[in-house]
Structure 1
Amino acid sequence: MRPITAIGFDADDTLWQNEQYYRLTEEHFQTLLGDFAEGARISERLLEAEKRNLAQYGFGIKGFTLSMIETAIEITDGKVPAKTINEILDIGRDLLRHPVETLPHVEETLRALNGEYLLVLITKGDLFDQERKLAQSGLGDLFDAVEIVSDKNATTYRRIFSKVADGPERAMMVGNSLKSDIVPAIAAGSYGIFVPHALTWVLEHVDKPVDAPRFREIIHLGELPDLLGRLP
């Protein structure tokens, strides 16, 4: 009997590019406020706002846009021009409309595993935006279930893998975020397969759980089928 019957996949920066567009938007934001502060200071204040606002706005572009507006008000001591607020809203909307760029090895790997394992997309963020990206990616038909959640923790993975699969012990989670995808999945009893991405949001950084028996790391998703064949 296979040790694993279900595989969960993160979406942003695991299946398709995401963080690089946030970085470009942040650079544009720095330019908009360049008369009021240096770029590094603007980014520092923006990160502080994002940390404060996660509990209220959650993850995703809408919360990021609201944090940019809040930062603009703080940086300018309330003097930010209405035109600048409009420009911030525009770059937030541009981020929501950005085309989906699927990462290498994603589609062929999903097609190879489809029908062999129960595939579950597990992603956090804005519901409409994640649904849009999944639809534009053309990958939706390759998943047996889609779960868009407000956050990812051990309870999330236990609930999802118990609901749609044979429980967390017979599942694995694949993703680029150690904090959201790997560490909590392992805590839930699943395998955690780390696929590093060149750009990962600073708030998603934690140490690798190298001593965890169910931790694995691969260079790209194309290595996943071979890894599955080598599990004990």
Structure 2
Amino acid sequence: MSMQNIKVIAFDADDTLWVNETIFRSAEEELCDLLTDYMPREEAGKLLFDVEMKNLPLYGYGIKPFTLSLIEAAITISNGDMKIGLVEKLIEKGKQMLEEPIELIDGIDSTLEELSKRYRLVMATKGDLLDQERKLIKSGLERHFHHIEIVSDKTEKQYKKLVRHLDITENEFLMVGNSLKSDILPVLNIGAHAFHIPFHTTWAHEMVDGKIEHPNFRSFTRASQLLEVL
């Protein structure tokens, strides 16, 4: 794969720039612990996931939609018998998630610093606009990026729109992210380049089966390895 044509490198945010998924998994475990009197932990976890998937087209991605799904799942699991105190705990949990300190992915700041000297960098992520903007500012990484793109979902159509907005061709665009489903496959499908840096925990909704074989694809274990090929 030739890197000579690359002009713009886009980075996913959650679990590519900073830690995110572990915060959600901790909240799920807390819900399951609170409801063990009504349902075994594993069953409660599966029910919560089903509620999230049902609500995704309506609510989108992010902590606030997740909190609503937590409350709905708790109502379902308890057959509407849960006390108001539990609702208050779940709402408070959502607020705590929104106020979590930002933990940067190891090596990402220095990697962005170096890459910004040679490429236009873009943050391209999905989720809640207010929450993602807040996290970006708190992260201290905003200075590295030429453009910020926050969308409701990452699709081939959205990536094509982003490429046109950046006034480049698909072959001049590289996406870096932790999700094969959101950051890699749709980008490869439009003829652009995609680098995968997996995070140790992946949301079930973002998992895909099979191995990716594509000339525009590479996989790395840490952000600093990007500097070896770019």
Shorter-chain TM-score bucket reads over 0.9
Query: 2: distance between equivalents of 1:125 and 1:182?
Result: 17
Q: Name the structure 2 match of 1:199.
A: 201
**Aligned 8 A contact 1:105 1:220 in 2:** yes
Q: Secondary structure at the match of 2:229?
A: helix
Correspondence list, 1:52-71, <5 A:
52-71=54-73
> C-alpha distance in 2, partners of 1:155/1:172?
16
TM-score, L = length of structure 2? 0.96
Deviations 1:22-66 (A, max 9, x none): 111111111221211111111000000000010000001011111
- 1:49 corresponds to which residue? 51
Structure 1 gaps of 5+ residues are: none
**Which residue is equivalent to 2:94?**
92
Matched AA of 1:81? K
TM-score, structure 1 normalization: 0.95
Q: What is the aligned-residue identity percentage?
A: 41
Cα pair 1:181 1:192 within 8 Å, conserved? yes
Aligned-pair distance for 1:15? Answer: 0.6
Deviations 1:60-81 (A, max 9, x none): 1011111111101111111121
Q: Look up the match of 1:129.
A: 131
- Matched residues in 1 for 2:210 and 2:126: separation? 21
- 1:19 matched to which residue of 2? 21
Q: Structure 2 residue aligned with 1:4, among 3, 6, 25? A: 6
- The offset of 1:208, in angstroms, is 5.2
In structure 2, what residue type is equivalent to 1:105?
A: G
Question: How far apart are the structure 1 equivalents of 2:52 and 2:125?
Answer: 19
Q: What is the Cα deviation at residue 115 of structure 1?
A: 3.0
Q: For 1:206 and 1:6, locate their aligned partners in 2 and report how far apart those are by CA, in whole Å.
A: 26
CA distance in 2: counterparts of 1:208 and 1:156, whole angstroms: 24
Give the AA of the match of 2:186: P
Which of residues 175, 178, 203 is equivalent to 1:176? Answer: 178
3-state SS of paired residue (1:119):
strand
Give the conservation status (yes or no) of the 8 Å contact 1:6–1:165.
Answer: no
CA distance in 2, matches of 1:220, 1:4: 20
CA distance in 2, matches of 1:141, 1:152: 23
* Cα distance in 2 between the residues matched to 1:177 and 1:196: 7
Q: How does 1:134-149 map to 2 (within 5 A)?
A: 134-149=136-151
Tell me, in whole angstroms, the C-alpha distance in 1 between the residues paired with 2:86 and 2:189.
Answer: 44
